[in-house]
Amino acid sequence: MSSQASKRSRKASAARRRRPAQEAQRAILDAAEQRLLAAGPDALRLQEVAADVGVSHPAILHHFGSREGLMRAVTARALATLETDLVRRLADPTDVNGAALLERVFETLGDRGHARLVAWLVLTGLGDVPPGAGVRVVRAVADLVHRRRMAAGRATPADFEDSLFTIMLAATALFGDAIVGPQVRASAGLTADRHADQRFRVWLAGLLTEHLDRGAPTRARAPAQKARASRTARRS
């Protein structure tokens, strides 16, 4: 009766396992991210996250100091992985087609709920975190697109803002779609229509690529030497 259960008398309540700090933290961050995506930042409860991971809530405080520390860590990691994913997707040269690229970006943004998360962070004021540097993904993509456009003789350097705005529109629309897409579709009477979302995105990609292929539009002070697209954009 001295060692009734085992020699290391495990307390009835908890089988204690001790993981390396990094691993435990990763597990906690995973669980917290899940909760964040599901219910928003304000609804994040330490006890729930702890329960998900299988630890007690002070364990989380041990690793992250405070609830806010956890939040910071989660958002930092989420934004970092989002950026990584985006860059990888954009750099992926499998298909340089505009539609496919847009669809890839949308998947990256929407699939794991990243857009929702970012939206939440922005709305709660935590989205301003990117300190100084920030992620200039939009600028980078615009540079790329604009260079290709110029190489094709469809724009002049002066039209850069048109390229930039086009990419900004893509980003903005993708975000908006990820957040209020269903509502907009409902407001458009497309609730019954499955695949309406995908059709819309394909349509959008078409619009954007067509615009890019055609050349910059009436830039107010257009001198005579404006390089404009050949008559009918012969996009096959």
Partner DNA sequence: CTCTTTACTTACAATACTGTAAGTAGCAAG
Partner DNA sequence: CTTGCTACTTACAGTATTGTAAGTAAAGAG
Neighbour tally for 139: CB within 10 Å: 13
Expressed in percent and rounded to 5, the helix, strand and coil fractions of the chain are: 65, 0, 35
Binding-residue total with DNA (CB under 7 A) = 30
| Segment contacting DNA by CB under 7 A, of 64-72, 95-103, 112-120, 129-137 | 64-72
* Among a copy of itself, DNA, none, partner that 221 touches (CB below 5 to 8 angstroms by kind): none
Minimum CB–partner distance for residue 30 and a copy of itself (Å): 21
Q: Which of 40, 52, 61, 112 binds DNA (CB under 7 A)?
A: 61
Question: Is the distance from CB of 105 to CB of 90 less than 8 angstroms?
Answer: yes
Place of tokens 């954007």: 208
In the shown chain, the binding pattern of residues 16 to 55 toward a copy of itself, with x for contact by CB under 8 A and - for none, equals: -----------------------xx-xx------------
Sequence letter at residue 15: A
Minimum CB–partner distance for residue 45 and DNA (Å): 4
Q: Is 55 helix (H, G, I), strand (E, B) or coil?
A: coil
Q: What are phi and psi of 170, to 5 degrees?
A: -60, -45
Minimum CB–partner distance for residue 21 and a copy of itself (Å): 31
* Among DNA, a copy of itself, none, partner that 45 touches (CB below 5 to 8 angstroms by kind): DNA
- Distance CA(212)–CA(121), nearest Å, equals 32
Question: Is the distance from CB of 28 to CB of 49 less than 8 angstroms?
Answer: yes
Neighbour tally for 205: CB within 10 Å: 19
Q: Give the long-range contacts of residues 84-93, CB within 8 A, separation 24 or more.
A: 85/114, 86/137, 87/137, 90/137, 90/140, 90/141
Minimum CB–partner distance for residue 123 and DNA (Å): 18
Q: Which of 3, 5, 18, 232 binds DNA (CB under 7 A)?
A: 18
Minimum CB–partner distance for residue 43 and a copy of itself (Å): 6
Interacting residues toward a copy of itself by CB under 8 A:
39-40, 42-43, 116, 118-120, 122-124, 127, 130, 134-139, 142, 153, 161-162, 164-165, 167-169, 171-177, 179-181, 183-190, 199-200, 203-204, 206-207, 210-211, 217-218, 225-233, 235-236
Interacting residues toward DNA by CB under 7 A:
8-11, 13-14, 16-21, 24, 44-47, 50, 54-59, 61-63, 66-68
